[in-house]
């Protein structure tokens, strides 16, 4: 399989289509349902004391936390090998390796933060879409219930 086919296969695993043709991320459904219940509870809360904190981070992939360590290890290893083969003195070599360790730690932290914030935006949009779908479904059910009650009332008054 080529790289592009691997990427497309990965995208298909991470996204699913609903009957309306919308693409959804494959999120842990039990956690999504829990978040939706918390959001709905907060909408109906009478006071701030009754509100529940909603933490979208529970839906993040735990592998996202591995970005920083791998960046640090890979970057520092490359610099260490290059400086070793260039015959740097040991003292200078240790200083270079330690400096790159700190540099890649900062870069990894920034990269992890950016990825996390981007993923949280996607998750929030996905949850908002699902909430809108649920509200629309409830609205249609309520309209149908009212229509049936009205027809029943009209049938009773006509007799």
Q: What is the DSSP string of 95-128?
A: HHHHHHHHHHHHHHHHHHHHHHHHHHHHHHHHHH
- Measure the CA–CA gap between 90 and 20, rounded to whole angstroms: 64
The predicted structure's pLDDT at residue 89: 93
Summarised one tens digit per residue, pLDDT across range 44-96 is 777 777 777 777 777 788 888 899 999 999 999 999 999 999 999 999 999 99
Q: What mean pLDDT is predicted for residues 23-35?
A: 71
Domain that holds residue 68: 3-158
Q: What is the pTM of this model?
A: 0.64
Summarised one tens digit per residue, pLDDT across range 92-111 is 999 999 999 999 999 999 99
Q: What's the pLDDT band for 18 if we cut at 50, 70, 90? A: low
- Measure the CA–CA gap between 153 and 75, rounded to whole angstroms: 75
Q: Please give the C-alpha separations between residue 7 and each of 10, 11, 15, 63, 127, in angstroms, as whole numbers.
A: 5, 6, 12, 17, 25
Cα torsion angle, 31, 23, 124, 51, sign? negative
The predicted structure's pLDDT at residue 78: 94
Q: How many structural domains compose the chain?
A: 1
């Amino acid at each position: 399989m080529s790289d592009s086919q691997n990427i497309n296969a990965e995208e298909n695993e991470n996204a699913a289509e609903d009957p309306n043709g919308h693409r959804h991320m494959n999120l842990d459904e039990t956690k999504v349902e829990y978040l939706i219940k918390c959001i709905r509870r907060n909408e109906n809360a009478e006071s701030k004391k009754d509100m529940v904190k909603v933490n979208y981070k529970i839906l993040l992939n735990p592998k996202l936390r591995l970005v920083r360590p791998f960046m640090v290890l890979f970057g520092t290893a490359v610099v260490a090998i290059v400086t070793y083969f260039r015959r740097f003195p040991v003292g200078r070599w240790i200083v270079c390796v330690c400096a790159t360790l700190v540099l890649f730690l900062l870069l990894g932290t920034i990269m992890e933060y950016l990825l996390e914030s981007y993923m949280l935006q996607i998750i929030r949009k996905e949850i908002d879409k699902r909430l809108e779908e649920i509200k629309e479904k409830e609205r249609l059910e309520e309209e149908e219930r009212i229509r049936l009650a009205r027809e029943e009332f009209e049938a009773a008054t006509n007799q």
